[in-house]
Amino acid sequence: MRKRESRIREPEPTRRKAVTKKTLGAKRKANAKRKEAGKGKTTDSKKWKPAPKAMPQLDLSKFPIESVTRMDRGICLACVWDVFVRHLKLAPKTAQVEIKRYTPSLDELNAAVVQRPYVPAQSSEQPCPYCGEASKWIARLPIYRIESGKATDTLRRELVKSLSKKNDSFVVLEQKATQQRAFFEWLESISKQLDLNDPVWLREVSRHYLSRKEPKADWQAEFEAAHSIRRSRRLEEGWEVDSGRLFLAPMLFDELLLVQYLVSRSHLAGGLTLEGRYTLPELFQRLRHSGFLRAVGVQASNPGDALEELLVHLSGGAAALRFYYIIDRRELLEGAKGLKVAKAKVAAR
Ligand SMILES: [Zn+2]
């Protein structure tokens, strides 16, 4: 269902010589051997004083909230230095220049497991898990992934235009994807935030889905005003809040049931929705009976095939979409500056 995109395009400034996993792995082994031999850590790296300043976050509050994903990382400068200087034998000055140009690749950003020299954002306050150096060597690397689309394209262009161009403080990577992939990644990411044992999740997932579908409305405010979600008998399309109840047009309501089913179908037996628990055949009957299947053009006569067609309808299928990754390299650049100190000390020895 979630195929990797066949092709990745990186803009010019980011097409850089990458440090391969192999070299990093080899270096790690060498490091371990050196430690075993009792020689301890690198001496020059200990003398750096990067002390990366905490940079203000990018303001993405104008963006539709469901179109932006933050996927922060930390990057251990000591590890990168180690690879550049000790393994690739770069001169310290060249290493510093390379570190300043260092940007994760799309593969590294999307790797299931964060690998050296990257650490998960939540571990950036702890010593480096690879080389053991103190957390001051770990620069935070905030990453914002924005889905392309009518609701974000203009905002994104404006944002990118407004960002500092100095030393590539911000790098934008572009990745081709499909609507389907974006939808399922979104579904997975909100599912992780929900506690399916707490019935409030039905409301939460409804707010997320409506925010995604109609990003212009202030759903936070609408949900604060509404204590329940109902299927409207009056509306033909859209939605309204009336007397503390959020009424959705029948087709929109049914679509929401489907999303709830998808989120919860692996939880206990069957999927939970605002109308209670449905098995797939029951949901199929329900959506067929209400006219939803016909309305969205699903013709399959058995539940499994119908679900596949429904997923294409819901997600947008193979239609093209792009992800734009804005990588905030400011802390990395700040950290790399500290290398000047190290360079001077190494040279003075
Ligand atoms: Zn490290």
Domain ranges of the chain: 8-18+42-169+329-348, 184-320
| Distance in Å, CA 129 to ligand 1 centroid | 7
| Distance in Å, CA 131 to ligand 1 centroid | 4
| Distance in Å, CA 17 to ligand 1 centroid | 20
| Distance in Å, CA 128 to ligand 1 centroid | 5
| Distance in Å, CA 136 to ligand 1 centroid | 10
What are residue 286's DSSP bridge partners?
A: none
Neighbours of ion ligand 1 (CB under 5 A): 76, 78-79, 128, 130-131
| Distance in Å, CA 106 to ligand 1 centroid | 21
Note the pLDDT tens digit of each residue in 84-122.
989 999 988 899 899 999 899 999 888 888 899 999 887
Specify the pairing of strand 245-248 against strand 228-231: parallel
What are residue 143's DSSP bridge partners?
A: 327
Nearest to 280 by CA among 255, 305, 297, 256: 305
| Upper half-sphere CA count for residue 319 (Cβ side, 13 Å) | 11
Question: Whole-prediction pTM value?
Answer: 0.78
| Distance in Å, CA 130 to ligand 1 centroid | 5
Q: How many CB atoms lie within 10 A of CB 275?
A: 15
Return the H-helix or E-strand segment holding 184.
helix 179-193
| Distance in Å, CA 119 to ligand 1 centroid | 9
Nearest to 214 by CA among 154, 255, 160: 255
List the structure tokens of 1. Answer: 């269902």
Integer Cα distance of 349 and 339 in angstroms? 15
Helix/strand/coil for 126: coil
**Main-chain dihedrals φ then ψ at residue 108, nearest 5 degrees:** -65, -40
Q: How many CB atoms lie within 10 A of CB 155?
A: 16
| Distance in Å, CA 228 to ligand 1 centroid | 50
Integer Cα distance of 63 and 67 in angstroms? 7
Nearest to 259 by CA among 218, 298, 203, 325: 203
pLDDT in single tens digits along all 349 residues of the chain = 443 433 333 343 333 333 444 444 444 544 444 444 434 444 444 444 455 556 788 899 999 999 999 888 899 999 999 999 899 999 888 998 999 998 999 998 888 888 999 998 877 788 999 999 888 889 999 999 999 999 999 999 999 999 988 878 999 999 999 999 999 999 999 998 899 889 899 999 999 999 999 998 999 999 999 999 999 999 999 999 999 999 999 999 999 999 999 999 877 667 899 999 999 999 999 999 999 999 999 999 999 999 999 999 999 999 999 999 999 999 999 888 876 555 445 444 4
| Distance in Å, CA 79 to ligand 1 centroid | 4
Given a contact cutoff of 8 angstroms between Cβ atoms, the answer to whether 127 and 133 are in contact is yes
